[in-house]
């Protein structure tokens, strides 16, 4: 029997086989250039209609900017997809005072100024007010419209480490971890308080999943040592997660995002309450191995290659990878498929559509036996144009 979006996702979260594998956007939201490509490809101009066509079972909320900042800023598309103050032709500043320069291809950005790089006393810096009027205006509107029909997730990306790096700079903050423990602890404690208040607001809105994240992994190793992560970040993430679970009456799921290789701390993440792990980049960690070792304790989210298959593979390659992931990682639930990173402009939009069409095809269940019995070539994937 076909299930609705919420039934399907919660069956998978509870490690019970859904009617088909649940589907989500990459990192919660397609880049605006990808979305434009999907609009052209599918000949559809409505964001929700596109998501429904792809079979996406989630809708996502994000922190916004204050009403006062919005008045000074402009809503920018790629590479920012948010509100920033423009200071020069290619120079932009966010609400925290961090500045960015757009790259020459206008598809990405680089840091050029960190507001805390020369500050030694945090009393000299004013953190944005989490309760500023207007900050959650868009989130409130989305949840009013979508709650009850979809599973709702709230993003708190850059929870601790990434926000600290943006404020202090990579060079200074990594040195601080060894030589300026007092500053690090004070900064991380301030960010922790901010994230707790932010998460509580989302819980009050009625979200199903609270999504934390910091990129603590690189391609083949961690960005910082596991012991350093355990020293500074694990106890604060534990406090953050415990605060959310207690405040929600244990009624939200805890999601954690980190790109790259993070196998050395997966046991730690489970210990502090993480239930959904994203994005399990196949180039960095083997999804089948992660499922085999931790599949009874974690739900895997993502798992589709955005470094190899989506940009360079054929539609058949994409379809084969989807089938492989569902076979290896989807038995008895515990899997939510999505690209393991936001597809970049070199990804053919037809491959993105193929990913979702291939996953939607397997509506009879995720077990290997059922997949084996189904004809894998009895449907067509393509764009309307």
Instruction: Specify the long-range contacts of residues 167-171, CB closer than 8 Å, at least 24 apart.
Output: 167/96, 167/97, 167/98, 167/114, 167/115, 167/116, 167/125, 168/114, 168/116, 168/117, 169/111, 169/114, 169/116, 169/117
Cα gap 94→65, rounded to integer Å: 9
What is the predicted pLDDT for the residue at 157?
A: 87
Which pLDDT value is given to residue 377?
A: 41
Q: What is the pTM of this model?
A: 0.94
According to CATH, where is 3.20.20.210 located in the chain? 5-65+122-373
First-to-last alpha carbon distance for the chain, in angstroms, is: 33
Q: Can the peptide bond before residue 116 be classed as cis, meaning omega within 30 degrees of 0?
A: no
In tens, the pLDDT along 220-269 reads 999 999 999 999 999 999 999 999 999 999 999 999 999 999 999 999 99
pLDDT of residue 27: 85
Q: For 195-207, what is each residue's pLDDT tens digit? A: 999 999 999 999 9
Q: Report the C-alpha gap between 338 and 302 in whole angstroms.
A: 4
CATH of 5-65+122-373, one of 3.20.20.210, 3.30.110.30, 3.30.1300.10, 3.30.360.10: 3.20.20.210
One digit per residue, the tens of pLDDT, for the chain of length 385 reads 789 999 999 999 999 999 999 999 998 899 999 999 999 999 999 999 999 999 999 999 999 999 999 999 999 999 999 999 999 999 999 999 999 999 999 999 999 999 999 999 999 999 999 999 999 999 999 999 999 999 999 999 899 999 999 999 999 999 999 999 999 999 999 999 999 999 999 999 999 999 999 999 999 999 999 999 999 999 999 999 999 999 999 999 999 999 999 999 999 999 999 999 999 999 999 999 999 999 999 999 999 999 999 999 999 999 999 999 999 999 899 999 999 999 999 999 999 999 999 999 865 444 444 444 444 444 455 575 4
């Amino acid at each position: 029997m076909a299930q609705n979006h919420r039934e399907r996702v919660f069956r998978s979260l509870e490690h019970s086989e859904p009617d088909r594998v649940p589907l989500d956007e990459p990192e919660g939201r397609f880049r605006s250039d990808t979305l434009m490509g999907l609009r052209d490809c599918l000949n559809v101009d409505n964001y929700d209609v596109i998501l429904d066509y792809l079979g996406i079972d989630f809708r996502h909320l994000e922190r916004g900017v204050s009403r006062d900042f919005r008045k000074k800023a402009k809503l920018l598309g790629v590479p920012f997809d948010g509100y920033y103050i423009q200071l020069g032709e290619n120079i932009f500043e966010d609400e925290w005072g961090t500045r960015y320069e757009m790259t020459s291809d206008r598809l990405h950005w680089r840091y050029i100024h960190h507001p805390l790089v020369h500050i030694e006393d945090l009393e000299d810096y004013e953190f944005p007010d989490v309760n500023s009027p207007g900050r959650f205006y868009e989130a409130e509107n989305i949840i009013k419209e979508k709650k009850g029909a979809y599973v709702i997730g709230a993003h708190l990306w850059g929870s601790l480490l990434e926000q600290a790096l943006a404020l202090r700079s990579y060079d200074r903050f990594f040195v601080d971890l060894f030589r300026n423990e007092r500053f690090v602890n004070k900064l991380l404690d301030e960010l922790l308080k901010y994230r707790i208040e932010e998460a509580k607001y989302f819980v009050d809105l009625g979200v199903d999943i609270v999504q934390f994240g910091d990129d603590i992994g690189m391609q083949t190793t961690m960005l910082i040592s596991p012991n350093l992560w355990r020293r500074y970040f694990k106890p604060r993430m534990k406090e953050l997660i415990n605060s959310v679970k207690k405040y929600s009456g244990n009624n939200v799921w805890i999601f954690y995002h980190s790109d790259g290789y993070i196998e050395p701390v997966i046991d730690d993440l489970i210990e502090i309450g993480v239930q959904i792990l994203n994005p399990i980049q196949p180039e960095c960690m083997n999804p089948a191995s992660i499922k085999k070792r931790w599949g009874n304790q974690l739900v895997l989210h993502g798992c589709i290659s955005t470094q190899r298959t989506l940009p360079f593979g054929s539609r058949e390659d994409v379809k084969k990878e989807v089938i492989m992931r569902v076979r290896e990682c989807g038995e008895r639930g515990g899997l939510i498929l999505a690209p393991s990173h936001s597809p970049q402009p070199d990804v053919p939009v037809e491959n993105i559509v193929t990913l979702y069409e291939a996953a939607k095809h397997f509506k009879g269940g995720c077990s290997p036996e059922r997949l084996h019995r189904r004809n894998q070539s009895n449907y067509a994937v393509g764009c309307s144009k």
